[in-house]
Amino acid sequence: MSNPTRFSNGVSTNDAQYLFGNYPLPAPFSTSGSTTTGVAEYANDFVSTVAEYTVTGTSSTLALTAGNGGLAVLTPGGTTTATAAYKTASNVAFVAGNQMWFSTRFKASAVSSTKSFYVGLRAGSSANDGLWFSKAASSTSVNLVSVVGSTTTTLVTGVATAAADTYLELGFYYNGTDLLVFSNNVLVARVSAPTIGSSGTTLTNANLGPVMQITPTATDTLTVDYILASTEVTR
């Protein structure tokens, strides 16, 4: 790696006359280019806490574990206990014209038999609305699945192939019009102009937050390296 460029006085996204004009970091809520629009970011590299997650499944846990860069492990409380961990407060929503970003890196300890999992965005405790990367039972294909008002639509088939104890790096970017899907930081699919609504449409307009879920068949776990959900917000 070459030496970094050094901005010893900081970097600002605001003109000098504004409140954050001399703030030495990018302004957290807006920029001079759009004083009513900012980015609200949630990012967790799992180095310090999982306190913002609620875990479902009898005796199931989500806990930090040793690992370079930080890891969290979702452990079902039983060999067939469907287990989820979702961020208690939802912080993003699809809004036409506004951008959204989601990124994660995770692995399942095993993928054979009828094990299934998904990682993505969900409307809190409800599995009736969300957008997530899903591996169905008896399959190793990881698909991008949208759920709106309990209606499930597979938007992209074969985003990646799951393998036991092997990390997947997946994400999507909504540019305000189209949905771009990435695997290992490479664009693999584009969903052109998906509709947004509350019933049976392609993307939900519910408030969403990060979720991870696994349905095991043995002592299976889901390990998450990081997760990010950010959205452009008009205030």
pLDDT digits (tens, 9 = 90+) for 81-109: 999 999 999 999 999 999 999 999 999 99
Q: In this structure, is the dihedral angle defined by the CA atoms of residues 121, 124, 128 and 129, taken in order, positive or negative?
A: negative
Is 108 in the same domain as 170? yes
Q: Are residues 102 and 20 both part of a single domain?
A: no
The token pair that represents 142 in the structure block: 């990881």
User: What's the confidence (pLDDT) of residue 108?
Assistant: 98
Bridge partners of 146? 131, 153
d(CA 68, CA 10): 29
Q: What is the mean pLDDT of the chain?
A: 95
Q: What is the C-alpha to C-alpha distance for residues 199 and 28, in angstroms, rounded to an integer?
A: 34
State whether 35 and 122 are in the same domain: no
pLDDT digits (tens, 9 = 90+) for 144-167: 999 999 999 999 999 999 999 999
Name the pLDDT band for 27 (thresholds 50, 70, 90): confident
pLDDT given at position 93: 96
Q: What is the CATH number of the domain that holds 78?
A: 2.60.120.560
Helix or strand holding residue 141 (H, E): strand 141-148
113 touches 198 (CB < 8 A): no
| Assigned domain for 3 exists | no
Mark whether 19 and 131 lie in a shared domain.
no
d(CA 222, CA 208): 21
Q: What domain range is 19 assigned to?
A: 10-39
Q: With a threshold of 0.85, does the pTM exceed it? A: yes
- Residues 197 and 97 reside in one and the same domain: yes
Least confident range from 18-32, 170-184, 192-206: namely 18-32
